[in-house]
Amino acid sequence: MKTFLIVLTIIFFQANVQATEIFENFMNTRALGMGNAFSAVVDDHNALWYNPAALDRIKGLHLTLLDFQVGTDAYDIYTTYQNAVGSGYSNLIRSFYGKQVWMGISDALAFSMRGFAMAGYDYFNLSFNLHNPAFSNVTMNATNDVGFNSGFAFSLIPDALRFGVVVKRVTRYGGRIPFGPATLASLSNSYITSLINNVGTGYGLDSGLLIELPYGIKPSFSFVWHDIGQTRFIPNPGSLAPPVMDDEAVAGFSATVDATVVKIRPAIDFKHINIPEEQIGKRIHVGTELEFPGLAVRFGANQGYYTAGVTLNFKYVKFEAATYGIEVGAYPGQTEDRRYIGTFTIDLNMDPSFDFSSTAGARPRAFQRR
């Protein structure tokens, strides 16, 4: 019996030290500033990734020419980027051995209007972390998604019950694999590169519901199912299949308190409902957005760690920044990776009257909606 308990303890311990972050297929700066609680809040082309039903909320016509986003948890982001795009992964591991490392870069070109949106995008995500210093083991994630999303939404009950669908085509490059002591001892860049040098193309489907009650604080309830049945990738000849996009169920709530000069939006998302083995604390996201004319500030909690964000909006140009924490261990509070992200957006938009003039709509695009 004693031996059995010892073995059970070892298995439990190893399961904890091997735990890593929950990988997301796409993240948005505005969402991250408010704890990534966004499925019941989103109201622009980002509904293509967060909640298809919210496409029915979009006001006016939008041509997003640039939606450039960059994030890191490293101080020397330029060196990290050079090594990453040059496949200098062994140099990265040498430089940051024993630390958490993450870097994300994305850009999108999108067209959106009420009930419909489409976007082409490129999303690069690199991360690795040391699991067990006593028995060195690093899990590395290096993926680059080049995709096209298209979706539509409509009101089943006008402005109260909305339903939407997004279809996607994604070419994914890269891999997600653990490196043991033997690999880390040699740190052969060619070998590491060969392990993650995969490419494949897949097709996926998302669907979403949005219920809005048009009175009082206007409570909104959302349910989204991402990558229904998983989005798997058919590998190119001579390549292995990249990691799949796992299906994800998300339930969310938000409200809007209109105090004339400021709109206050508290929100909560319960993500990855279909992964019960993950700690509940890693799946809960809460946040609040305070929206003023031309300015928004946000705060919240992502997987148990604080988040904060800000937006400056100048009608056709928008700057956003956020900081947030990710749990890379087994449970909230074990191992935080503090990350910083910023977005620069150029969005040519016009109100529903098709007036491009600077006087069309007294408030900037981000603050005309709802």
pLDDT digits (tens, 9 = 90+) for 89-126: 666 666 666 667 888 999 999 999 999 999 999 999 98
- Contact predicate 297/287, CB 8 Å: no
| pLDDT, tens only, 309-326 | 999 999 899 999 999 999
Average pLDDT over residues 217-225: 96
On the question of pLDDT at 7 being above 70, the answer is: no
- Contact predicate 304/279, CB 8 Å: no
More confident residue, 192 or 37: 37
Number of Cβ within 10 Å of residue 178's Cβ equals 14
Q: Which of 1, 23, 4 has its CA nearest to residue 12?
A: 4
% of the chain exceeding 90 in pLDDT: 60
Q: Which of 125, 152, 126, 130 has its CA nearest to residue 58?
A: 152
- Minimum mean pLDDT range among 28-37, 291-300, 310-319, 348-357: 348-357
DSSP state of 245: B
Per-residue pLDDT at 24: 87
On the question of pLDDT at 174 being above 80, the answer is: yes
Give start and end residues of each alpha helix (H) in the chain: 2-18, 29-33, 47-50, 77-85, 89-96, 181-186, 189-196
CA dist 299 and 297 (Å) reads 7
